[in-house]
Chains A and B, each alone.
Chain A
Amino acid sequence: MTLVTALYVGLFYAATIILVVGIALRIKKYAQTPSPLKIPTMPAPRTETGVALRMFREVVFFESLFRSNKWTWIFGYLFHFGLLLVLLRHLRYFTEPVWFWVNWVQPFGKYAAFAMVAGLLGLWARRFLVDRVRYISTPSDHLMLALLVGIGMSGLGMDYVSHTDIVSVKAFFLGLMHFSPQPLPGDPFLLVHLGLVATLMIIFPISKLLHAPGVFFSPTRNQTDSSRERRHIAPWAEQLEAGER
């Protein structure tokens, strides 16, 4: 095993553990923190089904963002939808045999990478061009975009500039999954791509990327409008009441 392979094996095991455990701990925290009051942004659905639909529209169509800013919506949607297709396409590196529907995604996935990068560049441009967005941008906001653009560009580089041996790449990841490491090709685009992806996985649970799991826990979006019909009370508020009696 080469040093590069050993390094990336270690990196991906560590990154995977940090990503999975980190997100799991965060989700646990969100789930265990009570919502003492009913605060859905009204008008809100009156049933659980309605709430599921509201969340679906929010997560799949970015409904609220569409209402608030069409440019951010277009760029944000290009990026997120592009990323989704690209991720689905990448499943072929982790499955043997490749799931049949992943093959269907394959032709779209290639172009989705362009959409993803275009969306990112649009979002990044807003951080420079719109005075309000410029004001609220922190160094980490720019770095996050740089990281994602880097991932996209290095990925595209393997498609359009210098091909890598994807059969070996697949063998490497299947090897990781079966705990029998295989050699990783030493192409620069590939090493940059994988290095940045591992970085993204590591910072995910300690950054604003938590918006992905977090949105499902947002009380203004996931609560029903039923406060007059059913009494809603948090455990700590019940204790407060018990202490008074």
Chain B
Amino acid sequence: MADFDVPELNEYPIIPKLKEGVMAHSAPFIAAEKFQTPLGFPGQLPENWKEVAIDKMGELLGKYRSLQVFLDICVHCGACTDKCHYYLGTSDAKNMPVARQELLRKVYRRYFTFAGKYFPRLVGAVDLTEEVLDDWYSYFHQCSQCRRCSVFCPYGIDTAEISMAAREILDAVGKGQKYCNEIIGKVFVIGNNLGLPEPALRDTLEGLEEEVEEDTGVKVRFPLDEKGADILLITPSADFFAEPHVDGLIGYAKVFHEAGVSWTMSSKASEAANFGMFIGSYENMRRVSLRIREAALELGVKRIIFGECGHAWRVAYSFLNTLAGPFDFLDPNYPVPQHICEFTLDLIKQNKLRLNKEENDHMKLTFHDSCNVARGAGMGNVEGGQFTIPREVIKAACNYFYDMPQDTIHDATFCCGGGGGLLTDDLMELRVKGSQPRMEALKRVTEDHGVTNLAAICAICKSQFAKVLPYYGFTMDQIVSVHQLVSNAIVLKGSEQEAELDGTTD
């Protein structure tokens, strides 16, 4: 099935002995000129690329305190060395967070510090060469920016910040990544990552309306571009067609229907994800974010709610107000933006949703904390709400729920292996190996509690798991959306299910 060795799943986690260079061959496709230009990046390596790269580094050092401080203060204590899922899954030395940072740090030292300028060998400083640049391209695309290392670092050094800066420098010298940059281009031109134009979108949504009506006998609407709606739903475009994503979308629609609120999606902002974050580009991230503001203004909505999308939620929760705010034209009674899980749990707590948990009795669930939700965002205006709220939603919809081992959940959660712009087929080996720690934890609860399914609130996690689960002896349909569980359990007013439960059928 694979032309590489799939890592073993052990009974208890084992920290592998490090090996040098075993993943040096891993690198994603480079973006062609046509994908670079629309984002404002050169199409190929300029003649004075070294100068451009060092200038860019200098510019970023002046713009981001994180970069400046993190490049200075690492003491090489080694606390992070066994925390990265890519190190655990590949055992490549340069996949230890500190070693990954060093790739950039040693160049920083050479050009920006006294010690590196005059005593390069003593402090491990090196000149910027094409080999170094290639190493950057390879290993900064073996970081999913999941921030697990930053939890365990005594100074909070976040390799994600370093990776973003490195990718921005790479973009500045024409070495962009095809997957991310092509997608950002599509968002600008068409409105979403998958390149679904408005008519296709409308068609899909009509199909979903028919499907739900067939299943329940209730006409649940999936509105698009409806001016004057109260709520604008921003959701990842995977929700429009792929399994299990689309079942989540059906879940949101049913929840909105039961809540009796008016809502709409937007063809202009038909994508929650913001790949601008992956490439560290504030300008591109901002441009992608502004679509949401424009859509909200054009449609005249009062609230913005985000669907299940992990990195999108980080940008939405932590950055949207900065990038595209202030949102003073929206209803001040609600946080901007809100997460669909916050919305659904509110309704559950107010007893406004009728949920028949037995509908999910064929599954025993566990929950995968998506890295960017867990460590990059919050929920519910309480510390740690991002852990409790999705679990409460699941427990309200299911009878059987078991958590994976403590050191693999909440803020210690492992990335699925496909985050941060790495969810591309040209990185399949990395994705499979990087999911090893999560798969191992899943196997644990499978054996201990008979867990059958893994629920997640991130489009990347869902796509990644659907792809990698089979490599580890699981099946691709074991990954489910949280709102898929809600969708299964929800008993719509006036539905066939309601009639059946209340015994009013003939």
Binding site for B on A (CB under 8 A): 26, 29-30, 33-39, 41-46, 50, 58, 62, 64-65, 67-69, 72, 76, 123, 126, 130-133, 135-141, 143, 203, 206-208, 210-211, 214-215, 217-221, 225, 227-234, 236-237, 240
Contact = CB atoms under 8 A, between A and B. Distances in A.
A210 B73 contact: yes
Contacts of B119: 140
Contact of B386 (A43, A126, A136, A214): A43
A37 B378 contact: no
Interface string B47-75: 00000000000000111111011101111
Interface in B349-392: 374-378, 381-387
B155 A214 contact: yes
B76 A33 contact: no
Given A37-B282, A72-B78, 9 more contacts: A44-B378, A65-B154, A133-B76, A208-B75, A211-B155, A218-B66, A218-B73, A228-B381, A236-B63
Interface in B157-171: 157-158, 161
A51 to B, nearest CB: 12
B406 to A, nearest CB: 11
Given A219-B65, A220-B150, A231 B326 contact: yes
The CB with the most chain B CB atoms within 10 A, among A35, A68, A240, is that of A68
Contacts, number: 210
Contacts of B152: 64-65, 67-69
Nearest to B118: A206
B95 to A, nearest CB: 11
Interface string B1-43: 0000000000000010110000000000000000000000000
A26 B114 CA distance: 13
Main SS of chain A's interface residues?
A: helix
Contact of A33 (B65, B378, B386): B65
A42 B374 contact: yes
A231 to B, nearest CB: 5
Contacts of A215: 73, 154-156
B336 A64 contact: no
Interface string B314-358: 000111011001100000000111000000000000000000000
A135 B378 contact: no
Contact of A138 (B69, B124, B161, B326): B124
The 8 closest A-B pairs by CB, nearest first: A68-B152, A214-B73, A220-B156, A133-B78, A138-B124, A132-B81, A211-B73, A221-B156
B466 interface: no
Contact of A42 (B66, B68, B77, B411): B411
Nearest to B377: A42
Given A220-B150, A227-B321, A237-B322, A139 B82 contact: no
B9 to A, nearest CB: 22
Contacts of B124: 138-140
A237 B99 CA distance: 31
Contact of A228 (B73, B113, B286, B317): B317
A206 B153 CA distance: 21
A137 B147 contact: no
20 contacts: A26-B72, A35-B66, A36-B64, A37-B322, A38-B322, A41-B411, A64-B152, A64-B154, A133-B76, A133-B81, A135-B93, A140-B123, A210-B72, A214-B73, A218-B66, A221-B155, A225-B383, A229-B335, A231-B326, A232-B321
The CB with the most chain B CB atoms within 10 A, among A29, A38, A39, A219, is that of A39
Contact of A218 (B102, B156, B336): B156
Contacts of B102: 136
B477 to A, nearest CB: 31
Contacts of A217: 65, 69
B98 interface: yes
Contact of B68 (A29, A123, A221): A29
A228 B321 contact: yes
B211 interface: no
Given A43-B411, A46-B381, A135-B18, A37 B319 contact: yes
B242 interface: no
A234 B66 CA distance: 13
B78 A132 contact: yes
Given A42-B378, A211-B73, A64 B156 contact: yes
Given A217-B65, A228-B335, A138 B122 contact: yes
Nearest to B59: A236
B115 interface: yes
Interface in B261-289: 282-283, 286
